[in-house]
């Protein structure tokens, strides 16, 4: 019986040690999780601030205006993005007239020309450096090409 009691005591000691070790590991894991969560919050906050700066900068307008000019330049949306409402209205109006006249045949050419203007402007916007784009189209207010 004494061997069984010693074995039982040994098992109880091992079980107690295992419980203590599990508690320490759990506490350690909780601390690591909290540290990771805090680092993730800091990184997300930094990313958020960087995104706000990017969206407020001229670079974002450059990329947005360039892509819109290439994709739907015939509508003049890129002009409205840059603040050229009169020029955007002209492109949009000419495109609508071209669509109406497309049943005559000449309208297709008109829409094609406005699309070509948008494509060329989009390529120009995207190939300019950020400083050149900002100085030319946002400070200098150059409306065409």
Using one digit for the tens of pLDDT, what is the confidence trace for 12-64? Answer: 777 777 788 878 888 887 888 788 767 877 876 776 676 556 545 545 688 88
Is-contact 119 76, C-beta < 8 A?
no
Q: Provide the residue ranges of all domains of the chain, joining segments of one domain with +.
A: 1-56, 58-139
pTM of the predicted protein model: 0.57
Is-contact 97 45, C-beta < 8 A?
no
CB within 8 Å of 115: residues ≥ 6 apart: 73, 74
The first and second tokens of residue 95, run together, are 């495109």
- pLDDT digits over 73-122, tens only? 989 899 998 888 999 999 999 999 988 888 887 888 888 999 999 999 99
């Amino acid at each position: 019986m004494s061997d069984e009691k010693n074995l039982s005591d040994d098992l109880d000691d091992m079980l107690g040690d295992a419980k203590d070790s599990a508690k320490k590991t759990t506490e350690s894991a909780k601390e690591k999780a909290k540290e990771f969560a805090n680092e993730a919050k800091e990184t997300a906050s930094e990313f958020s601030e960087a995104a706000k700066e990017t969206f407020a900068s001229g670079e974002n307008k450059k990329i947005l205006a360039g892509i819109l000019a290439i994709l739907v330049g015939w509508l003049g949306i890129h002009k409205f993005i840059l603040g050229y409402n009169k020029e955007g209205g002209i492109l949009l109006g000419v495109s609508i007239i071209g669509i109406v006249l497309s049943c005559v045949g000449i309208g297709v050419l008109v829409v094609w020309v406005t699309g070509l203007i948008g494509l060329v402007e989009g390529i120009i916007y995207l190939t300019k450096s950020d400083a050149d784009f900002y100085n030319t189209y946002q400070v200098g207010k150059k409306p065409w090409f």
